[in-house]
Structure 1
């Protein structure tokens, strides 16, 4: 009887947690852009407002004749977007300009071996161009050989490219936490103490390396995984990051680190 009671009690604890985890990972996550240019797998290019459906790996584009065209990742090579609908869940630096980083480091580039200039407090600019590319991906299942087309945002130059994917996660809120809606449009960050009294949905970045052979390598721990991939130049990369005080978790600064690693050679 005690064993049955213990199992029931365990289920009562685990099921709500599982449900929250499912909601955090499976919620519909759609981003709206006022303008997009999409390069199809056929080589054709189409333009118009677009919605990026993250979970489904699908674009839906509004056409001039008021119809909507559905574009799964398998039919898309790459796309560039502008005019994203502002998402207050993200801190303002999320909307950095990655155009310079996408150029990479090369002889003659004025940004060759440069470090990110100091940031200025300014309004988020959602009209900056963002570039996405399609890669075949095993959805982070290291034991699976099945890879399906998926969209990744390009943050650096090549030949090894820093990629980003975004997903929704649920974070706890407690009655005595530092979580606050003030000053951040209803979303907040802070330390959490005590028992959760609720949850809020946040956007989480995941980083990857797009390899020259088309494979995708997850950077689960960028500070460890990036030097490990560029093993021959690991010490130089680590020293470069230390000298210039670059973070392995900041997208903008991580893009500079990947570009620097590329400049050293594979």
Structure 2
């Protein structure tokens, strides 16, 4: 009996240990994105090709050369980088940004995903947020993390990806779209009436990323 109990206890500890390792690994994957194909253009003019990894928290990109060596670059050294998973491609560029501190004049280059081009560009960053998982199993942003197990009444959390949208303006300013409808209508100014008609006619939603691209692109076409 004692031997069986000892085996059960060992199994429980082993299961908990593996669970903690799995959670830690998944948390890391949420914070770090990898692509099999990358094209990195440096401010020096050099171009590097190879698998690319983007570390969101540190705002660092790492690229693996054909010889297996890995080089890391901060936004200040990068003109742009484009990545692909074989189906979709994404382009990132560094912009001067106050890190969301509206009361600070200090700005430093930070990576943003470029969603469209024009006088006004819709750009995006992603941040990591913790969600309470007690309501049951759920998918995180983009399906990058899934927790299929329950842990009784214990409080469970999962790290998820949250999209944050910004507008890059002609004067090289990054404007946070915390409330896209309100913030963009302030920018539309004299074109506000025409923009409302366009948005209504095409049934566009300010809270939808693809619709936001169409909205900003149309504004560029009528505001030049």
Range into which the TM-score falls when normalised by the shorter chain: 0.7 to 0.9
Please point out which of 89, 107, 115 is paired with 1:147: 107
Please point out which of 150, 163, 166 is paired with 1:208: 166
Q: Deviations over 1:60-113 (max 9, x none)?
A: 111122211111110001111101xxxxxxxxxxxxxxxxxxxxxxxxxxxxxx
How big is the shift at 1:238? 2.1
How big is the shift at 1:196? 8.6
CA distance in 1, matches of 2:178, 2:144: 30
What is the TM-score of this pair, normalised by structure 2?
A: 0.77
Q: Which residue of 2 aligns with 1:43?
A: 45
Preserved CA contact (<8 Å) 1:49 1:61: yes
How big is the shift at 1:179? 4.8
Larger Rg: 2
Q: Which residue of 2 aligns with 1:116?
A: none
Mapping 1:93-112, distance limit 5 Å: none
Q: Which residue of 1 aligns with 2:210?
A: 252
Preserved CA contact (<8 Å) 2:145 2:160: no
Please point out which of 55, 62, 65 is paired with 1:63: 65
Mapping 1:187-226, distance limit 5 Å: 187=146, 197-226=155-184
How big is the shift at 1:245? 1.3
CA distance in 1, matches of 2:198, 2:223: 15
Q: Deviations over 1:138-161 (max 9, x none)?
A: 111001111111110011121110
Given the superposition, is the C-alpha separation of residues 178 and 198 from structure 1 closer, same or farther in structure 2, using an over 3 Å criterion? closer
What is the TM-score of this pair, normalised by structure 1?
A: 0.66
Given the superposition, is the C-alpha separation of residues 185 and 60 from structure 1 closer, same or farther in structure 2, using an over 3 Å criterion? closer
Given the superposition, is the C-alpha separation of residues 68 and 185 from structure 1 closer, same or farther in structure 2, using an over 3 Å criterion? closer
5+ residue gaps, structure 2, are: 1-26, 148-152
CA distance in 2, matches of 1:201, 1:66: 31
Query: For this pair of structures, how many residues does the alignment match?
Result: 189
Q: Which residue of 1 aligns with 2:24?
A: none
How big is the shift at 1:187? 3.4
How big is the shift at 1:30? 1.0
Q: Which residue of 2 aligns with 1:235?
A: 193
How big is the shift at 1:186? 5.8
Query: Which structure is higher in helix share?
Result: 2
CA RMSD of aligned residues (A): 2.3
Given the superposition, is the C-alpha separation of residues 215 and 185 from structure 1 closer, same or farther in structure 2, using an over 3 Å criterion? closer
Q: Aligned pair 1:164/2:130, yes or no?
A: no
5+ residue gaps, structure 1, are: 1-25, 84-125, 189-194
CA distance in 2, matches of 1:186, 1:34: 20
Q: Which residue of 2 aligns with 1:131?
A: 91
Preserved CA contact (<8 Å) 1:59 1:70: yes
CA distance in 1, matches of 2:146, 2:187: 36
Task: Tell me: higher relative CO, structure 1 or 2? Use CA pairs within 8 A at least 6 residues apart.
Answer: 1
